[in-house]
Amino acid sequence: MSEEITFYKCATVPLEMHRARIVQKLELKPVEERVRAITEAGNNTFLLQNKDIFLDMLTDSGTNAMSDRQLGATMVADDSYAGSTTHERLETTLRDIFGKEYFLPAHQGRACEHLLAKVFVKEGDIVPMNYHFTTTKAHITLQGGEVTELYYPDALDVESANPFKGNMPPEALREAIATYGVDGIPFVRMEAGTNLIGGQPFSLENLKEIYAICREHHLPLVLDASLLADNLYFIKVREDAYKDATIREITREIADNTDIIYFSARKLGHARGGGMCLNDRDTYLKLRELIPVYEGFLTYGGMSIREIEAIAIGLEETMDLHMINQGPLFTEYMVDELVKRGIPVVTPAGGLGCHLDAMQFVSHVPQHEYPAGALAAAMYLAGGIRGMERGTLSEQREADGTERLADLELLRLALPRRVFTLSQVQYAIDRICWLYENRELIGGLTFVEEPSKLRFFLGKLAPVSDWQDKLVAKFRTDFGDSL
């Protein structure tokens, strides 16, 4: 059954396909207060306080707006510790959408990664994937395994016309299997929307090719479906073979070409939780034993029952093309407007949000001084906008202490679904343009507190010079007493 693609654009302007009924007040703090806030946060946007932020573009994880149907569903939750009908509703929804027999709940996506690593990964194992994610890699390395990334060369080209930069080369997977052996590969992982390279999707044709190789060698194919909604949209509009398929049909075909699906409902489903779906009973039983140990009982897995009700509705709403197109359409608008102004940004527009190319934006800042992190701090100073560094700062040092330089240096400005208005997006564009005009004033950062694991969450940094003073002075010259 075909599903018409309607973009709801007026000329080139995307339209919000919702109306706001409840609002949350925002405050744009004066630049002097922003200087204080970023200094206290150690130039780490993760450590900024929400009260000091105007536009929070750090992430779309747990920040998407819930629908009226989701909020209503939270009022009918069955909060029984065991045997909850709320859990049964979520399980039924997932079985209907993905066609997998078993479901195990977890408090979020990284909890699923933890349990999968505990069950599958042993010392010396290699896990092939189309690109790593920070917590995925951490859980694998904590078990003594390593990650090998398999991608086409242009996946790392910031400016590209490739609609599916998240594809995994089948020949590269065959080579990895020949090199490490089936016994040295616990599973193969595909991420639906490669987070760290700009939310870039894979094609369904590519997934089917990878799954065929996995089946040939009896290797499980694990899908990180946290960003599945965006990937579904891109398959629908970019892959000719599926332009007449419904989102539900595309979803089922993806599920039929994977063995284990795990997801963070903070992204997929627009609530807070997660879980794993699979068919293999032996694997299910091994994972099931760990749920009560690390997450909670089998009918809630660390989630609140109200959130579980909201997830069930949110997953059903994800099957609506005109819900899942909102994030990609607004991201595309923002990317296109920046491209018009000559500002370096990842193309084509992916999911998650707009990704500035810090390697070009502040080309004078060396990688060991964390250009994407410096740009994130500058972005906050310029407009009270919080973004997320996705570059060398998000890596971790090698065992000998040397710095591992990232393939890309990106500042991600996430666009949570149904949260920002077009005028707020245009404000962000204006602040980016001002920063780009004054980019020579931006300098680097250096660590003053550096955790050994996932340092981008908790580490603190300081400017390597007085560049922030100069940037703020230029801001006052250009804007006077305005915010």
Residue with tokens 């794993």: 276
Distance linking the first and last C-alpha atoms of the chain: 52
85-98 vs 247-256: helix axis angle to the nearest 10? Answer: 90
* Gyration radius (Cα) of the chain, Å: 22
Q: Nearest-5° angle of CA 319, CA 325, CA 330?
A: 155
Burial tier of 480 (Cβ tally within 10 Å: 0-12, 13-18, 19+): exposed
Q: Which amino acid does the sequence have at 411?
A: L
Residue 124: CB atoms within 10 A of its CB come to 10
Q: Which two tokens stand for residue 325?
A: 């197109």
Query: What span, in angstroms and rounded, lies between the C-alpha atoms of 412 and 357?
Result: 9
Residue with tokens 């909890």: 111
* DSSP notation for 53-109: -SEE-S-STTTSPPPHHHHHHGGG----SSS-HHHHHHHHHHHHHH--SEEEEESSH
Query: What span, in angstroms and rounded, lies between the C-alpha atoms of 270 and 60?
Result: 9
Q: Which two tokens stand for residue 414?
A: 């996430």
Handedness of CA 337, 342, 343, 347 (dihedral sign): positive
Which residues participate in catalysis according to the annotation? 81, 133-134, 224, 267, 390, 456
Are 326 and 417 spatial neighbours (Cβ–Cβ below 8 Å)? yes
Residue 391: CB atoms within 10 A of its CB come to 27
Query: What span, in angstroms and rounded, lies between the C-alpha atoms of 435 and 96?
Result: 48
Handedness of CA 9, 13, 14, 15 (dihedral sign): negative
User: How many residues does this entry show for the chain?
Assistant: 483
Q: Which two tokens stand for residue 74?
A: 């939270």
DSSP 453: S
Query: What span, in angstroms and rounded, lies between the C-alpha atoms of 466 and 438?
Result: 15
DSSP 345: B
